[in-house]
């Protein structure tokens, strides 16, 4: 790769931008695809296919070409409310995924460096924690405490900020009561229906690691639907 292209890649990574590296396997020439910049004139004929591969997060050969595309994306931000056992397993399982995890829990004896090494921990109530980290359309919020005083404010903020994934732990009856509280706080049915509750893909698992795994499966499905 030429120095100018390498410099551009380093710059895009440092700015946490999303981009692709495209290689012509016949000529060995490299290109950098930045969705916010004009495409190299050599690639104009393949613009639609390149954009489609980038949008669909699909690495590999671009159909009917000699072009190989490798996509690079910003990490997805995951906010876990509740430093419980399920959260510990989630963090462990998610180590090699392209996500950044933040743990929010005002209970310091749960949310500790010892239980969550190398993880951003905020020992505050959600209302205060969200002054330090912001939620947006690229954020997933996972509520695990079972305590409405902690979970509800976090879920309400996630709905307001239009997080692409919102999941909450609890039985069907617990979720029904949660939905009623949200309605009382002015949220509409179409908003509430965006919440995955009970959280996780249903495959019969009940232990903490099984539930954590089911949440990851569900979350990754939603990431690739984005």
Q: 135 and 46 in one domain?
A: no
Q: 90 and 42 in one domain?
A: no
CA 43/CA 22 separation, integer angstroms: 9
pLDDT, tens digit (0-9, with 9 covering 90-100), for 105-148 = 999 888 899 999 999 999 999 999 999 998 999 999 999 999 99
The CATH number of residue 182's host domain is: 3.40.50.720
pLDDT, tens digit (0-9, with 9 covering 90-100), for 60-79 = 999 889 999 999 988 899 99
Q: 116 and 174 in one domain?
A: yes
Look up the pTM and report it.
0.81
Q: 102 and 26 in one domain?
A: no
Burial 201-210 (b: 16+ CB within 10 A, else e): eeeeeeeeee
Q: 148 and 94 in one domain?
A: yes
12 burial via Cβ count (<10 Å: 0-12, 13-18, 19+):
middle
- Pair of tokens at residue 139: 């954020």
pLDDT of residue 226: 65
Q: 104 and 45 in one domain?
A: no
Q: 212 and 178 in one domain?
A: yes
Q: 118 and 196 in one domain?
A: yes
Domain boundary among 25, 43, 72: 72
pLDDT of residue 2: 79
Q: How many domains does the chain have?
A: 2
107 in helix, strand or coil?
Answer: coil
Q: 85 and 65 in one domain?
A: no
Q: 164 and 52 in one domain?
A: no
pLDDT, tens digit (0-9, with 9 covering 90-100), for 26-70 = 999 999 999 888 899 999 999 999 999 998 888 999 988 999 999
Q: 11: domain range?
A: 3-72
Domain boundary among 40, 72, 104: 72
Domain boundary among 13, 39, 72: 72
Q: 193 and 113 in one domain?
A: yes
């Amino acid at each position: 790769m030429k120095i100018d292209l390498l410099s551009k890649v380093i710059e895009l990574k440092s700015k946490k931008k999303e981009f692709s590296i495209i290689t012509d396997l016949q000529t060995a020439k490299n290109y950098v695809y930045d969705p916010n910049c004009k495409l190299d004139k050599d690639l104009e004929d393949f613009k639609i296919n390149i954009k489609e591969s980038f949008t669909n997060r699909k690495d590999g050969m671009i159909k009917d070409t000699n072009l190989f595309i490798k996509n690079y994306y910003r990490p997805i931000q995951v906010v876990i409310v509740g430093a419980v056992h399920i959260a510990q397993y989630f963090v462990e399982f998610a180590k090699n995924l392209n996500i950044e995890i933040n743990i929010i829990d005002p209970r310091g004896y749960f949310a500790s460096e010892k239980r969550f090494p190398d993880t951003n921990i905020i020992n505050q109530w959600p209302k205060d924690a969200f002054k330090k980290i912001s939620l947006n359309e690229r954020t997933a919020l996972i509520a695990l405490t079972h305590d409405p005083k902690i979970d509800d404010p976090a879920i309400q903020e996630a709905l307001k900020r239009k997080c692409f994934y919102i999941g909450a732990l609890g039985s069907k009856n617990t979720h029904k009561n949660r939905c009623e509280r949200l309605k009382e706080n002015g949220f509409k049915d179409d908003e509430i229906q965006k919440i995955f509750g009970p959280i996780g893909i249903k495959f019969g698992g009940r232990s903490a690691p099984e539930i954590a795994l089911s949440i990851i499966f569900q979350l990754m499905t939603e990431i690739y639907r984005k």
